[in-house]
Structure 1
């Protein structure tokens, strides 16, 4: 079997603009969370609740207005991963606040939304 790249080099664009991606790139296209329901007499089944998909990462603060991220509410976020897979989130909003680590010139951002898809 030939070796192929499966992880590593990745890129991110937000509303069509590229950003300096540092690390911590994670995503979830999941739309539900299931929890097993048990009682004193055994397993009864499960409950299912909706969850938002997400795309999160750490970005280098280069030619970037960190304050602008806090106002993002209908963003399109696109990842291209080392293995060629693309992840696209539409109409996403930023959760949490952005805190800059001045010693590294980085900040973390997490987008959530209901439309996160993987394209192979």
Structure 2
């Protein structure tokens, strides 16, 4: 019988090191941003602009890590393992925003962007 678990539990590793996922994670495997082009006479076509893939998450500031080191990451591999069995992998990723720790809950947001974010799906029997 196939599991119907679709969301909730997730794990993350960055450069092979498992990190504490404080909250949710988001990812975008998109490669282009598409915009309609119109004129006074109606629809003309599309404009496509390349965009990087991204993986964003909220991590726990564990005592064994230095948050400042995240700002230095430029060629990282980020792997999300999702509750539904899907594995999301970003290669050659770099952090694109400054990290700021909320000390009340020991959490911080980190966003990685890079040339490719891929999804490995699972077969449903």
| TM-score scaled by length of structure 2 | 0.93
Number of equivalences? 120
Distance in 1, Cα, partners of 2:112 & 2:7: 22
Cα-to-partner distance string for 1:77-109 (whole Å, 9 max, x where unaligned): 000000000000001000010000000100000
Map 1:39-118 → 2, pairs under 5 A: 39-62=39-62, 63-118=64-119
- How large is the Cα RMSD of the aligned pairs? 1.2
The answer for unaligned runs of 5 or more in structure 2 is none
Distance in 2, Cα, partners of 1:2 & 1:17: 30
The structure 1 segments of at least 4 consecutive aligned residues displaced by more than 6 Å after TM superposition are none
Distance in 1, Cα, partners of 2:24 & 2:111: 10
The answer for unaligned runs of 5 or more in structure 1 is none
Distance in 2, Cα, partners of 1:4 & 1:79: 19
In the TM superposition, residue 3 of structure 1 has moved relative to its aligned partner by 6.0
| TM-score scaled by length of structure 1 | 0.97
In the TM superposition, residue 4 of structure 1 has moved relative to its aligned partner by 1.1
